[in-house]
């Protein structure tokens, strides 16, 4: 028995080491795949050790491994890359619900006040993470409206919900034999998750996803304390901390505070009232080819439109043709481009675009004045010069990629519709900008045919 306990404890130590080093490797695009694999192996070891500790027979562990593996493999194969943000939102939600159920299951062995508090925290954070993630999923998939949903007295209602949660949690800790108070905590936490996310507009979903990811980690950490599982505490703390750091990075990239994202209702209330003057200058694919053929430096800035058009492979092919023609090609990646953190990096990695060509905003901006052609593919708000030039703009002060400083700018768009934030973009009217209307993938394939 003692040897079995030692084996389980050592397995948890190995798993924790794999988590830490895996997280470190995830900090770089070049090592992210290795870090993901390392973390996955660590989680597998942690789960097996935890189930062995509970006395579960090995054949049941194997069955769970096979069933879970099949579900994961099917999801990885069948879910489109454009639906990856929604999938991440669901993962966060499932993690929250798992923590809620673990906390609830730990109730039978609860004794001291500390354990009761951790049970309440795992249920509370897990519940709001679950329903909040479902709302985020609905906004990202546009199953429900992506705009912010606000109403008079909304913050008062939310405050009353929070007070109700706190009062019910205190009563449960004082009267743990009365499970009615716990049921109230469960119900209010699920309701609060909905109420917390509906006033956040779709343009802020990258921040919401990273924040919900942090919540799922904190819920797991609380559940680990509730069942006295050290590896769950470690894993939850790592996820919670990394999620908070990522959330701060997202907020900084938009020049906004977290409280502003959570409570401003930016997605519907913030509308640009400024009038942009100028003339749109459309460009054909044929004429765009002649300009690109003479370019020696090209910067490509992808956005959600690239994901919708599934144009990442066409982008890679055009990139190779430009390089064979003597041009230097780099990609400018804005932290909040797309609808989840790292969305563009994931898409371009799928197309095997070299990691050293993916430049962050702070790296690409100093080079932009030397770029012959900047190609904007489906991005809008992250290249909007109004963030620098128009003080009345809702995004004024937000760091953007300065594509307007390139010698020539190609903007690939289906129409003149505004971006997810609903803000007019003066870039489209600038003298050095040319609009190429149509499906981004078809436009890129047209350029590829011209080069070929």
Active site residues: 381
Burial string for 43-73 (b: 16+ CB within 10 Å, else e) reads bebbbbbbbbbeeeeeeeeeeeeeeeeeeee
Length in residues, the chain: 452
Question: Helix/strand/coil (H, E, C) string of the chain?
Answer: CHHHHHHHHHHHHHHHHHHHHHHHHCCCHHHHHHHHHHHHHHHHHHHHHHHHHCCCCHHHHHHHHHHHHHHHHHHHHHCCHHHHHHHHHHHHHHHHHHHHHHHHHHHHHCCCHHHHHHHHHHHHHHHHHHHHHHHHHHHHHCCCCCCCCCCCCHHHHHHHHHHHHHHHHHHHHHCCCCCHHHHHHHHHHHHHHHHHHCCCCHHHHHHHHHHHHHHHHHHHHHHHHHHCCHHHHHHHHHHHHHHHHHHHHHHHHCCCCHHHHHHCCHHHHCCCCCCCCCCCCECCHHHHHHHHHCCCEEEEEECHHHHHHCCHHHHHHHHHHHHHCCCEEEEEECCCCCCCCCHHHHHHHHCCCCHHHEEEHHHHHHHHHHCCEEEEECCCHHHCCHHHHCCCCCCCCCCCCCHHHCCEEEEEECCCCCCCCCCCCHHHHCCCEEEEECCHHHHHHHHHHHHC
DSSP string, 146-196: SS----TTHHHHHHHHHHHHHHHHHHHHH-TT-THHHHHHHHHHHHHHHHH
């Amino acid at each position: 028995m003692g040897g079995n306990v030692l084996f389980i404890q050592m397995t948890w130590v190995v798993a924790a080491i794999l988590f830490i080093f895996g997280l470190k490797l995830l900090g770089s695009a070049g090592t992210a795949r290795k870090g993901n694999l390392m973390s996955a192996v660590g989680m597998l070891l942690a789960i097996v050790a935890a189930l062995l500790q509970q006395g579960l027979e090995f054949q049941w562990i194997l069955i769970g491994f096979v069933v879970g593996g099949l579900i994961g493999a099917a999801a990885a194969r069948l879910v489109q890359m454009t639906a990856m943000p929604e999938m991440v939102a669901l993962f966060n939600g499932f993690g929250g619900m798992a923590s809620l159920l673990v906390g609830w299951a730990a109730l039978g062995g609860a004794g001291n006040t500390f354990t009761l508090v951790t049970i309440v925290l795992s249920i509370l954070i897990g519940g709001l993470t679950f329903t909040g993630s479902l709302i985020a999923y609905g906004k990202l998939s546009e199953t429900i409206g992506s705009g912010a949903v606000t109403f008079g007295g909304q913050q008062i209602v939310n405050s009353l919900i929070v007070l109700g949660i706190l009062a019910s949690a205190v009563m449960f800790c004082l009267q743990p034999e009365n499970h009615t108070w716990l049921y109230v905590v469960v119900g209010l936490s699920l309701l609060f998750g909905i109420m917390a996310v509906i006033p956040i507009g779709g343009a802020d979903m990258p921040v919401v996803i990273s924040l919900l990811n942090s919540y799922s980690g904190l819920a797991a950490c609380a559940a680990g304390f509730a069942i006295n599982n050290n590896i769950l505490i470690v894993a939850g703390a790592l996820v919670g901390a990394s999620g908070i750091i990522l959330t701060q990075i997202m907020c900084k990239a938009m020049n906004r505070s977290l409280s502003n994202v959570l409570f401003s209702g930016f997605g519907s209330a913030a509308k640009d009232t400024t009038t942009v003057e100028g003339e749109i200058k459309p460009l054909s694919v044929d004429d765009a080819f002649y300009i690109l053929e003479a370019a020696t430096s090209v910067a490509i800035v992808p956005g959600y439109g690239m994901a919708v058009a599934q144009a990442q492979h066409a982008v890679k092919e055009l990139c190779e043709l430009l390089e064979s023609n003597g041009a230097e090609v780099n990609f400018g990646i804005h932290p909040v481009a797309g609808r989840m953190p790292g969305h563009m990096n994931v898409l371009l990695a799928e197309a095997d675009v070299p990691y050293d060509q993916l430049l962050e905003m702070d790296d690409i901006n100093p080079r932009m004045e030397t770029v012959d052609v900047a190609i904007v593919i489906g991005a809008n708000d992250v290249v909007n010069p109004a963030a620098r030039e128009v003080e009345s703009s809702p995004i004024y002060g937000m760091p953007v990629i300065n594509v307007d400083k390139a010698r020539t700018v190609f903007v690939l768009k289906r129409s003149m519709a505004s971006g997810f934030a609903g803000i007019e973009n003066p870039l489209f009217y600038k003298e050095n900008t040319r609009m190429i209307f149509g499906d981004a993938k078809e436009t890129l394939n047209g350029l590829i045919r011209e080069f070929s």
